[in-house]
Amino acid sequence: MLGYLNDPELTKNSFTADGWFRTNDLGHFDENGELRIKGRYDDLIVLPTGNKVNPNEIEPLFLKALKHSCSECAVAQYPNTSKQQLLAVSKEPGDLPRAAISEVNRHLPKYSRASYVCVTDTQLPRGSKGQLIRKKLLDGIDLSRAVDWRLTLNGPYDGYPVRQVRQDG
């Protein structure tokens, strides 16, 4: 690839000094020396503490735990706050298995836990190849119905959605 047509600035930012193309893929070498792709840098949720949450690692855990009651799920940063995340769940009507989500959260680092849960009956936005479009994830989701999951981890859930994001974290 020689560069981007009529965009020298984008071309300059897309290549390293020695000519390698920056793909924004995240990966690591496993114990056999094979490269494993884990996701894309653009998908990372960077928290104010500097912790980075890779939704591609967390979403399969929630999907596995919710396999009988959820068709798809996604993790995104809750808007207008720098501390919380949102687990957006698209599922069939019925009870949300709170115990399953709490169990997954218990095995995650505190900064990676889903703090808010939102259930929707619409499909999450996907591109033509079936990949989740993260930039449009929260479009069309009623965030006023997001449940503050921190309140339900240690006590009963009364079924009433939290109307505001608590700023105290």
CA distance 97 to 18: 51
Detail the DSSP E strand segments found in 6-163.
Answer: 25-29, 35-40, 45-46, 52-53, 72-77, 85-90, 116-120, 147-148
CA distance 78 to 117: 10
Residue 129 is predicted with a pLDDT of: 92
Domain membership of residue 67 as a residue range:
44-151
Query: pLDDT digits over 51-87, tens only?
Result: 888 888 888 998 888 887 778 888 888 776 665 566 7
> How many structural domains are present in the chain?
1
CA distance 29 to 114: 28
CA distance 107 to 103: 7
Q: In this structure, is residue 128 part of a structural domain?
A: yes
pTM greater than the 0.75 cutoff: no
Distance, first Cα to last Cα, the chain: 46
Q: What tokens appear for 169 in the block? A: 């974290």
Residue 151 near residue 160 (C-beta atoms within 8 A): no
Q: In this structure, is residue 169 part of a structural domain?
A: no
Give the domain CATH number at 81.
3.30.300.30
Q: Is the pLDDT of residue 16 over 60?
A: yes
